[in-house]
Amino acid sequence: MYRCKECNAEYKIKPDYCDCGNDTFDYIEEKQPITLEQKAEIVSRIFFALCLLIAIGVWFIPMSKKTPEHKQITKTKPITNIPNINKIWNDTPIYQPKPEPRTEPIILTPTEPVQKKNLVPPKVITPKQAPVIKPVEPVKPAPVVKPVVKTEPIIKLEPAKPVYNPNSPAMIDYKTKLRAKLFSKFAVGSIQGSGSCSISFAVDKSGKLINRKFIKESDNKSLNDTVYYMLMSVPYFTAPPAEYNGSAINMTFSINNGNYAITIN
């Protein structure tokens, strides 16, 4: 890989000139991808290291000296002093409580006549309650209905753009200065023989030359190389006039044994 020292553009094959006009590049080594055999070797080494760590870790596990529970045998002493059952046995009957005699309930009869109670509750005289006067609710005013006023959207009128005229005084002056800037990078002495070619490009708002290309190439390779070097050496120029709409600008180069002509339109 080759990287331009000016704009850091990368190329697989080293070109003569970068798009920015620079002819110096830095060589960058490409990283080769890992093959399947290398991946398999790495995995096998990791697996071998894990097995080795597990084998070493087994020796550090503590071993308990206790015997398992199912093998432990407890010895019991034989019973020698067995008491006589006749001394322990008791033939006394179970205690049962005696039933108590039933007694009839005693009924008391009143000797004096019982006075009848007045079961009707006395009338409670309550004072006359004053009539409850409910407060009069205030009358709510009717809601005010606001008239709906339709507002039309405000249309902003943009200022009319100037009509592009490639032959206007401003464009002729701009193209003349641009032709002089390009001609300063045109190495006439490096061209041998004769031929003619045409190029096309445009200029954005910031003055950058875009869409640079050959419309017609010459059979003379030295002429094509000189024009290409010239076009790549001027990547930026001043901002174009406001009327310019981005249309293509064409240039024609003709040379015949040292005599040359350059036109721009």
Looking at residue 6, its pLDDT comes to 85
Per-residue pLDDT of the chain (265 residues; tens, 9 = 90+): 788 988 888 888 888 888 888 888 888 776 667 788 888 889 999 999 999 899 888 877 776 555 555 555 566 666 666 666 666 666 666 667 677 666 666 665 655 555 555 556 666 656 555 566 766 677 777 777 777 777 767 777 766 666 888 899 999 999 999 999 999 999 988 999 999 999 999 999 999 999 999 999 999 999 999 999 999 999 999 999 999 999 999 999 999 887 889 999 8
Supply the angle between the helices 169-183 and 221-233 in degrees, to the nearest 10: 110
Prediction pTM value: 0.40
Is residue 198 within 8 Å of residue 212, measured between CB atoms? no
Mind listing the domains of the chain with CATH numbers? 1-58 (no CATH), 169-264 (3.30.2420)
Q: Which two tokens stand for residue 70?
A: 């199912």
Is residue 23 within 8 Å of residue 17, measured between CB atoms? yes
Looking at residue 232, its pLDDT comes to 93
Q: Which residues pair with 259 in a beta bridge?
A: 256
Looking at residue 112, its pLDDT comes to 57
State how far the Cα of 72 lies from the Cα of 70, in Å rounded to an integer. Answer: 6
Looking at residue 125, its pLDDT comes to 59
Give the closest residue to 209 by CA, choosing from 168, 252, 251.
Answer: 251
Looking at residue 138, its pLDDT comes to 72
Give the closest residue to 21 by CA, choosing from 223, 237, 259.
Answer: 237
